[in-house]
């Protein structure tokens, strides 16, 4: 069995310092979180950037350049940029980051590719109110465009699967020659509107992807430590970080992204799987260039 690739999603678009004061906002904080997570065992950093003053999600080339430069000064963790962006961003704004970074000589090795549209919500069960009531739109024309852009620039798509039908969407894109095998899938479980974090769902999704594909799981909340263990046992990989959850254990806020990564690395090692270096991850994912 291959080594476990741990991806750290250090900030995302939605988690706030009200939820956890340690959520990184500024380019320096985001870069340091990625570097510390690399030292703790992460091979890949999934990056969003934030307005450093407001904390609001921003698909801003200058902020990305600053983050990536700071990371590259210290370590070789693989860079995985978002094309999901955040609420209110246009299709053009979301995908433009890839050619813009390549033009600056900062090509990301991987980029997220959301494989379908989704009712995306955040619900306060206590107040019975929706804190976020949104639809993440990814129509066919944009899916094809995003996939072709990544293929043309030799950036590996991380195909984000929130619901089972999205796996077939990826297969269609492959048949249209917009995606190149072997495919790499990320099963995103626990979002309100998508599949929930159960072992049964994870096994079903794993069994549904094309042979030879690689895969990973990320989970909204603390279930990542149980579903992550299931993924490790099944030969998959794991993503975690403050984009997805701000607690290290029940009722205890995480001190850092690195603390979350270190816990998952311990789980993997105790289960008999070493964790991948960036060089290992490049080989396992069959990255180009």
Residue 1 within any structural domain of the chain: no
Question: Given a cut of 90, is residue 234 above it in pLDDT?
Answer: yes
**pLDDT recorded at residue 60:** 96
Residue scoring higher pLDDT (39 or 123): 39
Average pLDDT over residues 29-58: 97
User: In 10 A of CB 168, how many CB atoms?
Assistant: 12
Nearest 5°: phi and psi at 157? -75, 130
Calculated CA dihedral for residues 9, 11, 13, 16, nearest 10 degrees: 140
Percentage above 90 pLDDT, the chain: 92
**Strand partners for 7:** 44, 239
Instruction: Summarize pLDDT for 135-171 with one digit per residue, the tens.
Output: 899 999 999 999 999 999 999 999 999 999 999 999 9
E strand or H helix that includes residue 145:
helix 140-152
Q: What is the mean pLDDT of the chain?
A: 96
E strand or H helix that includes residue 7:
strand 6-9
Tokens of 9: 């999603």
Is 112 within 8 Å of 158 (Cβ atoms)?
yes
Residue 47 within any structural domain of the chain: yes
Residue 173 within any structural domain of the chain: yes
Is 265 within 8 Å of 40 (Cβ atoms)?
yes
Give residue 132's pLDDT band: very low, low, confident or very high (50, 70, 90): confident
Tokens of 161: 């699967």
Residue 209 within any structural domain of the chain: yes
Q: How far is CA 4 from CA 126, 170, 261, 281, in A?
A: 37, 24, 12, 9
**pLDDT recorded at residue 186:** 98
Instruction: Summarize pLDDT for 168-227 with one digit per residue, the tens.
Output: 999 999 999 999 999 999 999 999 999 999 999 999 999 999 999 999 999 999 999 999
Structural domain count, the chain = 1
Residue 94 within any structural domain of the chain: yes
d(CA 189, CA 236): 15
Strand 184-189 to 237-240 pairing: unpaired
Residue 171 within any structural domain of the chain: yes
Q: Which domain holds residue 110?
A: 6-284
Give residue 289's pLDDT band: very low, low, confident or very high (50, 70, 90): low
Residue 82: exposure state from Cβ atoms within 10 A (0-12, 13-18, ≥19): buried
CATH code of residue 16 = 3.20.20.70
Residue 289 within any structural domain of the chain: no
Residue 55 within any structural domain of the chain: yes
Percentage above 70 pLDDT, the chain: 100
Query: Which of 84, 17, 110 is closest to 56 using CA atoms?
Result: 17
d(CA 216, CA 202): 10
d(CA 22, CA 19): 9
Average pLDDT over residues 100-110: 97
């Amino acid at each position: 069995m291959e080594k476990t690739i741990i991806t750290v999603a250090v900030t995302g678009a939605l988690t706030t310092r009200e939820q956890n004061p340690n959520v990184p906002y500024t380019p320096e904080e985001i870069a340091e979180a990625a570097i510390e997570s690399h030292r703790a065992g992460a091979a890949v950093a999934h990056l969003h950037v934030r307005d450093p003053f407001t904390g609001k999600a921003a698909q801003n080339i200058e902020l990305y350049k600053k983050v990536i430069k700071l990371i590259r000064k210290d370590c070789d963790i693989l860079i995985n940029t978002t094309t999901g962006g955040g609420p209110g961003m246009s299709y053009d704004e979301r995908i433009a980051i890839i050619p813009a970074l390549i033009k600056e000589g900062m090509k990301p090795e991987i980029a997220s590719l959301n494989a379908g549209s989704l009712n995306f919500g955040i619900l306060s069960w206590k107040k019975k109110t929706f804190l976020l009531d949104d639809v993440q739109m990814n129509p066919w024309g944009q899916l094809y465009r995003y996939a072709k852009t990544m293929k043309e620039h030799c950036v590996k798509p991380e195909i984000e699967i929130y619901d089972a039908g999205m796996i077939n969407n990826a297969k269609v894109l492959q048949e249209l020659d917009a995606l190149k095998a072997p495919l790499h899938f990320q099963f995103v479980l626990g979002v309100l509107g998508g599949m929930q974090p159960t072992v049964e769902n994870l096994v079903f999704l794993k069994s549904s992807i094309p042979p030879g594909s690689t895969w990973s799981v990320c989970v909204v909340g603390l279930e990542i430590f149980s579903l992550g263990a299931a993924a490790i046992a099944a030969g998959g990989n794991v993503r975690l970080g403050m984009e997805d959850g701000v607690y290290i254990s029940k009722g205890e806020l995480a001190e850092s992204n690195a603390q979350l990564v270190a816990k998952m690395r311990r789980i993997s090692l105790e289960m008999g799987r070493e964790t991948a270096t960036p060089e290992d991850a490049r080989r396992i994912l069959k990255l180009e260039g």
